[in-house]
């Protein structure tokens, strides 16, 4: 039986990415990403819940960030694809710590919260790339209703 470990996140960087250079030439990028869910509580009031994700990247992506070919900064809205990895380690006080990370395969900016950069004049033959601008906040669908008491399980498609 096959399994799948795939994560897709859209959120904002919590800090500027940090790149660590190892003696063998390998580079590792780490950064935190915040995702925020908006929902209505029982009283109809809007609530927000923010989750923080630890992102780690190796290889080409980390190299691009280290070389400033991808200049990501705190607050940028990002699209991230990767996989979940949990690990544990023993800290300096000899306490075992558990950490969950997203090992990033793909990461790209969707715009962000940075100040507007000056626009350069483009010729009439160049097209400006559209930027992602969310039109509205996503709202999760209502809870599915349970089947009625007379439901017969024989109608399942598998």
**Rounded to whole angstroms, how far apart are CA atoms 34 and 50?**
6
Q: How far is CA 27 from the centre of its chain?
A: 20
pLDDT in tens, 140-154: 444 444 444 454 445
The domain tally of the chain equals: 1
> Residues in the chain with pLDDT < 70?
112-158
pLDDT in tens, 37-56: 999 999 999 999 999 999 99
Q: So what's the pLDDT on residue 66?
A: 80
Strand partners, 55: 31, 102
Residue ranges making up the domain that contains 73? 1-113
- For position 39, which CATH number holds? 2.40.50.140
């Amino acid at each position: 039986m096959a399994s799948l470990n795939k994560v897709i996140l859209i959120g904002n960087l919590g800090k500027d990415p940090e790149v660590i250079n190892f003696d063998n030439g390998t580079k590792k990028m780490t950064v935190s990403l915040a995702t925020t869910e908006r929902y209505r509580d029982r009283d109809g009031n809007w609530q927000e819940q923010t989750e923080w994700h630890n992102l780690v990247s190796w290889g080409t992506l980390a190299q691009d960030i280290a070389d400033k070919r991808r200049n990501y900064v705190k607050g940028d809205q990002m699209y991230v694809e990767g996989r979940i990895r949990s690990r544990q380690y023993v800290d300096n006080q000899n306490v075992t710590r558990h950490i969950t990370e997203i090992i990033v395969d793909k990461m790209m900016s969707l715009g962000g919260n940075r100040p507007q950069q000056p626009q350069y004049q483009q010729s009439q033959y160049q097209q400006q790339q559209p930027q992602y601008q969310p039109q509205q906040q996503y709202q999760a669908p209502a809870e599915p209703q349970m089947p009625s008491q007379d439901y017969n399980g024989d109608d399942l498609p598998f």
